[in-house]
Amino acid sequence: MSKLVTIYGGSGFVGRYIARRMAKEGWRVRVAVRRPNEAIHVKPYGVPGQVEPVFCNIRDDMSVAAVMQGADAVVNCVGVLNELGKNTFGAIHAEGAGRIARIASQQGVASMVHISAIGADADAASEYSRTKAAGEAAVQQHFPGAVILRPSVIFGAEDGFFNRFAGMTRLSPFLPIAAGGTRFQPVFVDDVAKAAVKGALGEAEGGVYELGGPEVKTFRALMEQMLEVIHRRRVIISLPGFVAKLVAFGFDLLQYASFQLIENKMLTRDQLKSLKSDNVVTEAAKGFADLGIDPVSVGSVLPDYLWKFRPSGQYDEMTSSARNLRNGA
């Protein structure tokens, strides 16, 4: 009988790529999510019955244990960028991660992979980063052999980074950003999935791996590259620190005043704190090279999914060629 992996948050941006790759490896995949009916898109990743979404609340021991029964490997992809209701940073990043690791150890699961983030630090200014560090500590305490992955900003067809800012270019001739000088090392989502699969299959040593792509660029430089890909000219405005704080406070206040019916998906005060630190791989850290993975660059992937933000979408190249012919004539 084929082996079984339980992927917590397996229908999300990163989780779906891990689920697809584990299915290709011949494993049965149990995708543990809060809303299984909204995770039906994972079922075609394998043959009928191979990939199944199931309900799970990672804030509850019994729920976590139930979907882990019989699993040979466990992957935790659950994370939040903004706190909503009971899904606080502490409850998800720290307590949830520790719960999964503890129960995995109790059930004798062979391998565990935990998705964290570069910048995880118990002394960080951002609560997001502090709780990520607390989650890592809890995982290592309960499951010492776990593979912990710390990716930089992740890009791919469903990302919330390039897609969000490219969408903003449709609304205004200006593109406001905060902390434009902060450095990132963008990593392709499928490369992160490859690393997670290595850990789940037991092909990687336990420990922390920092994952970054082959290029390090500032936030502003990444926006310039994005604009080039989508064939749009926009004025990039780096917001002064005090203005960025006011903007973040305003969006947070809107979320609070609407009783969280309007989620702050633009910029939170905690995210602003994170943006003050570079998001790049440290020199001494283990990374892709130790996993035998050659990461792809931003430039080789962005055109594959950002074309829809071009003025004429998929026909933009054709439109430009026709315009050049007319001008030449």
State how far the Cα of 234 lies from the Cα of 248, in Å rounded to an integer. 22
Alpha-helical regions (H) of 174-263: 189-200, 219-229, 241-257
Alpha-helical regions (H) of 201-240: 219-229
pLDDT of residue 313: 78
Residue 22's CATH number? 3.40.50.720
Structural domain boundaries, residue 72: 4-156+185-213+278-295
Does 260 reside within a domain?
A: no
pLDDT of residue 321: 55
pLDDT of residue 9: 97
Does 329 reside within a domain?
A: no
Q: What is the pLDDT of residues 157-173, one digit of tens each?
A: 999 999 999 999 999 99
pLDDT of residue 317: 67
- Amino acid, single-letter form, for residue 104: A
> How many domains does one find in the chain?
1
State how far the Cα of 208 lies from the Cα of 147, in Å rounded to an integer. 6
The ranges of the chain with pLDDT < 50 are: none
Does 268 reside within a domain?
A: no
pLDDT of residue 314: 74
pLDDT of residue 327: 63
Does 168 reside within a domain?
A: no
